[in-house]
Structure 1
């Protein structure tokens, strides 16, 4: 009997770590793209080529109409990336299932590379914007698919940690971009100060599309395509167990049953309310992604250097240094949920994050009011501190959550289009925030923070009442929980009270092992009876 299959010579835990590395690298690239542009906007070598997006040009200081228009142009240029991400996510709704998880990620990475080359070689604003849209398109494909691929190749007890690692690596990418921007800012007028930071993203994309096709495909997608033998081989490799092990038998039986029951699904199923409550689950996934973006995180991520510059720290590239330090602290905060996500669950982290983010935005409102209206310069220190505090709460409660949660709560047949749709929410609201930020600060000033304080306060009760817990749940268990749900209010108590099939170590509980054995016996008995009938 052949041994357990290997990928790159890896199996079991090491193979899961390899998948997590590539999935995480994609999110590191995603974070890098988010953070890199904000640090380039005030570079003389950058504004020389793109003066249309430089509202701080001293030559237009007294021309308020021109300054407002350039603020709008800046928002458009920066947010063009997010618009591309939205288009890529919508595109994935239609190509995600036909292509499969691996091929979608492969082509997404190729498209990102093309977009990055266009940005790096730009000499005019239209080319720069087109490059950002193309880069975003590829990233939209990837971020719609990677969480699904990661979730469908992970065991229930490891899934939360692995996807939280992806979230942590978003901040790692942001941090890397901030420090690179800070270092290259000292170059001065040389164009490499902005062309190299834009080109560096290609390095990550090359690793992804150079390795992804040689890693395991999602076993659930393989079963859905009728390739069950390949799915069993993948499960053997991922779990380092032979195919006759009860764990593998249970996994393939559960996946097979789900695929069979959901085989009639279609894109229109996104809006149906059968016993699986598809539309209910799609709405939860969509709102979860929307909440992450309208919290205001990208107000800071994209414009951190400019926000620190407004405090009055103009010398020695201090705004970029503070932004880099902020990103580093953000990265440290993002490590926390990796170790506690399975201990405390998804709901508690989301509630903790929403409460802290709301209070942080209240503090930013007050400090920015005293700084900009009352001209109390000391308030700038408070504003700098609470930009750090906000990122801490976001990093712990919401950073990785929206890449994990939607993939956990939707049924298999519509999992890919639902995650693409929910990711499109992430990007369209990301686009909205990034687009309006320069204009909002130009027109309503400190009141911009009030908007986000109220939004985060509203997130808290909606999570408490409507978002079910998925901790220690297999993807098939969530199907059963929603089948028992009768309205939007009782899914939370059901998710908290329903017995778990797996323990905290990911092992199938004894009563479910017995159930698998019993089902196998019945299946063999029926098969044997059929053979006897045929013989007679």
Structure 2
């Protein structure tokens, strides 16, 4: 009974509800990835759309979704800025649900192949509009309702749900495919329509959650902000937090509003954080895991396995992926975003180099008289480990960093730019991957080894550590980089932003308490020092 009460109390906790809500929304993206991976090989689906299994159109249908995501990120973030983060999420959910329904009915009622293909394309784009908006707004919503030292953990837990969605879709796909067969239309329609469970759950739980206090203060709704703080953080926190938010808002008002032009032009005030945001998503795409998620079975076929075996090995990979995401939310606020990305890129480069060798041996196995298991088993191990490395090091940070480095007036736009680049980069990767498989075969792995090496090097040189710092402290990095005239992390404030603030790099204007926690301070104008906004001084 005690355990039940403890669980009930945990579920009733607003922080937990926010994570559960955001997790369910983020799971939509993962579900789509797992959903299309086996639909692409369903004979009824291919016949209904009038395309061959190796046709480039297969990749086009998958990839246009990402173009929809890019547009949806802009529309969703603008709506969320104007009407509220919650309302923005719900509008995006309704759009994604509509797109999913259009995909489900494509080709029904004796429609022609051209009509079916057109409706499927439209459905993919509309669903992309909704999911792109969700991916832009939910990380902002979650970040603005999390503590400074727990933002990474919260988002990593939500992205673990992303992998849950991927697993759910792939398991349903495998079950209906092997029960109904690849010639049955319901083997591809059922996985599509099951996605509707996510919007249904989210709409049902909508009334439990507040608007973010930062958005309320930004729109001069301070009383609503106080109610939100009370619901999420407790009544004792209301006065301190509302004063901090009002003070931060006044400072941002003095600096003026931020437009997209300020973010994308080199002379703009937010151009530097935008470059960091853009390169984070480009580098994530260059890791190659958008391709692995969507075309997993084909990759295992390159390693020499049959179609059915490859599907079950892919399922095992996704389940392992889900489990290893637990490590991501344990480490991200302890080791930092930057460290995880640099080390992740290094190990991914090695993994893909090994897969190139193993793929080559598997491709020439009969000529060299190498048994399948001699290349297949090591290939499975390497790809499983590479998947876990990606999940721990690269899945979350490119989404998290944009929510931490912009001022409130630009945070939603920054998240939107992040999704736009993610959409365009993954559009290119998912469109080119089938072509790469058909023309380069296992040499495609070597391309990914090189792109991972580039991603790691760029991150080491230019990406600051934003964990365990307030939003305002992270903005200081870009101001000081401009004063220094260099974007190299090692040259700004003696490289302090290379590490988490409580691990090393304590400067002259800082002091450490007995537990090694850095408590950075500022002058309050009266000759005294006070903790910076959002910090807790344990002295």
Q: Is the 8 A contact 2:510 2:518 kept in 1?
A: no
1:339 maps to 2:339: no
Distance in 2 between the 1:500 and 1:265 partners? 31
TM-score, normalised with respect to structure 1: 0.84
- Counterparts of 1:251-262 in structure 2 under 5 Å? 251-262=244-255
The one of 210, 215, 218 equivalent to 1:216 is: 210
Higher relative contact order (CA 8 A, sep 6+): 1
Cα drift, residue 12 of structure 1: 11
CA distance in 1, matches of 2:310, 2:403: 37
Instruction: String of CA shifts for 1:127-170, please: whole Å, max 9, x gaps.
Output: 11211111111000110111111111111012111011122121
Shift of 1:448: 1.2
Determine the structure 1 residue equivalent to 2:358.
367
The two structures, once aligned, show a CA RMSD in angstroms of 3.1
- Deviation for aligned residue 1:326: 0.4
Measured after TM superposition, the shift of residue 517 of structure 1 is: 13
Shift of 1:100: 2.4
Size of the aligned set, in residue pairs, is 493
Using the size of structure 2 for normalisation, the TM-score is 0.84
Q: What SS does the aligned partner of 1:472 have?
A: coil
Paired residues of 1:144 and 1:419 also in contact (CA < 8 A) = yes
Cα deviation code 1:486-534 (max 9, x no counterpart): 32023471425467899999x99696798999899xxxxxxxxxxxxxx
Instruction: Give, in whole Å, the separation in 2 of the partners of 1:235 and 1:10.
Output: 19
Deviates more, 1:401-410 or 1:135-144: 401-410
Residue number in structure 1 paired with 2:424: 428
2:438 is the counterpart of 1:442: yes
Q: How does 1:26-105 map to 2 (within 5 A)?
A: 26-55=25-54, 70=55, 72-92=56-76, 94-105=78-89
Match of 2:51, SS state, is helix
For 1:515 and 1:320, the matched residues in 2 are separated by 65
8 Å Cα contact 1:109/1:205 also seen in 2: yes
**Ranges in structure 2 where 5+ consecutive residues have no aligned partner:** 1-7, 108-115, 500-504, 531-539
Counterpart check, 1:206 vs 2:218 = no
- Provide the rounded CA distance (Å) in 2 between the counterparts of 1:429 and 1:456: 14
- 1:272 Cα deviation (Å)? 6.0
CA contact (8 A) 1:179 1:321 kept: no
Are residues 503 and 94 of structure 1, via their aligned partners in 2, closer, same or farther at CA, if it must alter by over 3 Å?
farther
Q: Deviations over 1:73-108 (max 9, x none)?
A: 111111122221122123335434223211111111
Which has the higher mean CA deviation after the structures are superposed, 218-227 or 302-311?
Answer: 302-311
Question: For each residue in 1:411-449, what CA deviation from the matched residue of structure 2 results, as whole angstroms up to 9, or x when unmatched?
Answer: 221111111012111111111110011111111222211
Any gaps of 5 or more consecutive residues in structure 1? Answer: 1-8, 56-69, 521-536
**Secondary structure at the counterpart of residue 401 of structure 2:** helix
Which residue of structure 2 lines up, in the alignment, with residue 20 of structure 1?
19
Within 1, Cα distance between the matches of 2:392 and 2:200? Answer: 30
Matched residues in 1 for 2:12 and 2:526: separation? 24
Q: Structure 1 residues 221 and 299 mapped into 2: Cα distance closer, same or farther (>3 Å)?
A: same
Query: Residues of 1 paired with 2:231 and 2:364: CA distance?
Result: 62
- Cα distance in 2 between the residues matched to 1:125 and 1:26: 27
- The answer to whether the 8 A contact 1:115-1:133 is kept is yes
**Bigger shift: 327-336 or 383-392?**
383-392
Pair 1:482–1:212, CA change in 2 (3 A): farther
Give yes or no for contact 2:11–2:17 (8 Å, CA) kept in 1.
Answer: no
